[in-house]
């Protein structure tokens, strides 16, 4: 048991699992979420529910954010009733959302200017790993701050990799999701191809599942595409966001990534076709109907 106060901002698929793991580890947890019903569920599990990010962050030793994108992160940390302005000197801000390196770097500068210590800590793993405390944290920041926050990381994850200064982890996380997004997009096209040829799709997919393409991504998302199981692990628009951020990161170093842009288009099209509330496996649906 520990009475360290931790605030969690953002209780979506990932943040809710992370908050529950912090509660299970005995931390004094306060939560905030835009939609109140998700916060209320954490309240039932023992968290204090705050009305604003600032309210949640007041008096917290650590504030963890797990939010949709750069714009949301900016408003929750630095907007009206934002968390950063009220944090204690020496408290630790952990930004775990998947974001651009540019925004994370700017946020770090703002935090440090206010006397708040800052770590970026995007994650690999998905809904199930968040719920089980089995995330892998990709971390950018200074080692002493990471050590100070380690009890929280230990509660939420099973591994932590310190990749370098702030910005390093955003780069690696975007590359990670770039490769995942490309695999999911090509997999959807392959499944649509098999179906349109009238093949035994299970038999055809077994070749991919057993062969060189058989990454955990291909096996996991491929199975869900075949089963039409679209209960969300990772939502369609968030992968579109990550592929856009990855394309931008590549453009920033002079690489025009037609691959990232083409893969992103599959997710954008699926979102426009009404699949935005579903798992990324649902990107196969518009191709089935094409
Ligand atoms: P999610 O379930 O869609 O949750 C998104 C969170 O952002 C929710 O708390 C949502 O609040 C909040 N949000 C969205 N728009 C907002 C706005 N305008 N103002 C305030 N809050 C807003 O997504 P998730 O899967 O938990 O993902 C969270 C982050 O983790 C994303 O950056 C994602 O890329 C990253 N990530 C996800 C996975 C995964 O497999 N799911 C894995 C690794 C990293 P509401 O509840 O009110 O909508």
User: What pLDDT digit, counting tens, does each position of 32-47 carry?
Assistant: 999 999 999 999 999 9
Q: Residue 257: count other Cβ atoms within 10 Å of its Cβ.
A: 18
Run of H or E residues at 5 = strand 5-9
Q: Where are the domains positioned within the chain?
A: 5-164, 171-288
User: Does ligand 1 have an atom closer than 6 angstroms to the CB of 243?
Assistant: no
Q: Does the pLDDT value for residue 128 go beyond 80?
A: yes
User: Does ligand 1 have an atom closer than 6 angstroms to the CB of 114?
Assistant: no
User: Does ligand 1 have an atom closer than 6 angstroms to the CB of 127?
Assistant: yes
pLDDT, the chain, mean = 97
Cα 204 to Cα 135: distance, rounded to the nearest angstrom: 32
Cα 59 to Cα 51: distance, rounded to the nearest angstrom: 15
Nearest CA to 135 out of 157, 151, 162 is that of 157
DSSP, residue by residue, 70-116: HHHHHHHHHSTT-SGGGPPTT-EEEE-S---HHHHHHHHHHHHHTT-
Domain 171-288 bears CATH identifier 1.10.1520.10: no
Q: Does the pLDDT value for residue 290 go beyond 90?
A: no
Which tops the pLDDT comparison, 2 or 184? 184
User: Does ligand 1 have an atom closer than 6 angstroms to the CB of 35?
Assistant: yes
Q: Does the pLDDT value for residue 5 go beyond 50?
A: yes
CA-proximal residue: ligand 1, atom 34 (nearest) = 98
pLDDT in tens, 253-262: 999 999 999 9
pLDDT in tens, 101-116: 999 999 999 999 999 9
Cβ atoms of 187 and 196 closer than 8 Å? no
Give the burial string for 50-70 (b: 16+ CB within 10 Å, else e).
bebbbbbbbebbbbbbbbbbb
- CA 70 to ligand 1 center in whole angstroms: 11
User: Does ligand 1 have an atom closer than 6 angstroms to the CB of 13?
Assistant: yes
- CA 53 to ligand 1 center in whole angstroms: 15
CA-proximal residue: ligand 1, atom 14 (nearest) = 68
User: Does ligand 1 have an atom closer than 6 angstroms to the CB of 98?
Assistant: yes
Cα 63 to Cα 140: distance, rounded to the nearest angstrom: 16
Q: What is the pLDDT of residue 289?
A: 84
Out of 138, 238, 280, mutate this one to test ligand 1's pocket (max ligand atoms within 8 Å of CB): namely 238
Q: Does the pLDDT value for residue 1 go beyond 50?
A: no
The tally of CA atoms less than 13 A away on the side-chain side of residue 159 is: 8
Out of 11, 68, 80, mutate this one to test ligand 1's pocket (max ligand atoms within 8 Å of CB): namely 68
Percent with pLDDT over 70 in the chain: 99
Q: Tell me the C-alpha to C-alpha distance, in Å, between residue 136 and each of 133, 155, 245.
A: 9, 11, 21
The whole-number average pLDDT for the span 127-156 is: 98
Q: Residue 251: count other Cβ atoms within 10 Å of its Cβ.
A: 13
User: Does ligand 1 have an atom closer than 6 angstroms to the CB of 136?
Assistant: no
User: Does ligand 1 have an atom closer than 6 angstroms to the CB of 10?
Assistant: yes
- CA 204 to ligand 1 center in whole angstroms: 35
Task: Label residue 272 by pLDDT band (50, 70, 90).
Answer: very high
Residue 219, exposed/middle/buried by CB under 10 A (0-12, 13-18, 19+)? Answer: middle
Ligand 1 atom nearest to 241, measured from its CA: 34
Cα-based angle 175, 225, 128 (whole degrees, multiple of 5): 60
Sorted by sequence, the CB contacts under 8 Å of residue 157 that are 6+ apart come out as 123, 125, 133, 134, 135, 136, 137
pLDDT in tens, 57-92: 999 999 999 999 999 999 999 999 999 999 999 999
What is the CATH superfamily name and number for domain 5-164?
NAD(P)-binding Rossmann-like Domain (3.40.50.720)
pLDDT in tens, 169-223: 999 999 999 999 999 999 999 999 999 999 999 999 999 999 999 999 999 999 9
Phi, psi for residue 78 in degrees, rounded to 5: -125, 0
Q: Does the pLDDT value for residue 247 go beyond 80?
A: yes
CA dihedral 214, 220, 222, 228 (to 10 degrees): 170
- CA 284 to ligand 1 center in whole angstroms: 22
- CA 89 to ligand 1 center in whole angstroms: 28
- CA 73 to ligand 1 center in whole angstroms: 10
């Amino acid at each position: 048991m520990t009475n360290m106060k931790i605030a969690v901002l953002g209780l979506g698929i990932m943040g809710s699992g992370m908050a529950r793991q912090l509660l299970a580890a005995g931390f004094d947890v306060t939560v905030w979420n835009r939609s109140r019903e998700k916060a209320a569920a954490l309240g039932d599990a023992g968290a204090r529910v705050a009305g604003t990010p600032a309210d949640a962050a007041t008096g917290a030793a650590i504030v963890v954010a797990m939010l949709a994108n750069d714009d949301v992160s900016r408003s929750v940390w630095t907007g009206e009733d934002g968390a950063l302005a009220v944090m204690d000197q020496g408290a630790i801000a952990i930004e775990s959302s998947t974001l651009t390196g540019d925004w994370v770097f700017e946020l770090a500068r703002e935090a440090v200017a206010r006397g708040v210590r800052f770590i970026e800590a995007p994650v690999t793993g998905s809904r199930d790993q968040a719920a089980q405390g089995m995330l892998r944290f990709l971390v950018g920041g200074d080692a002493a701050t990471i050590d100070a926050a380690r009890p929280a990381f230990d509660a939420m994850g099973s591994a932590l990799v310190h990749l370098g200064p702030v910005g390093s982890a955003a780069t690696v996380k975007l590359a990670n999701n770039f490769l995942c997004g490309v695999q999911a997009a090509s997999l959807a096209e392959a499944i649509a191809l098999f179906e349109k040829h009238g093949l035994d799709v299970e038999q055809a997919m077994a070749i991919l599942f057993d062969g060189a393409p058989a990454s955990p991504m291909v096996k996991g998302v491929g199975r869900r595409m075949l089963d039409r199981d679209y209960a969300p692990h990772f939502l369609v628009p968030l992968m579109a966001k990550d592929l856009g951020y990855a394309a931008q990161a590549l453009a920033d170093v002079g690489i025009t990534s037609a691959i990232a842009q083409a893969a992103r288009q599959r997710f954008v099209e699926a979102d426009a076709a009404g699949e935005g509330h579903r798992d990324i496996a649902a990107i196969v649906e518009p191709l089935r109907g094409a």
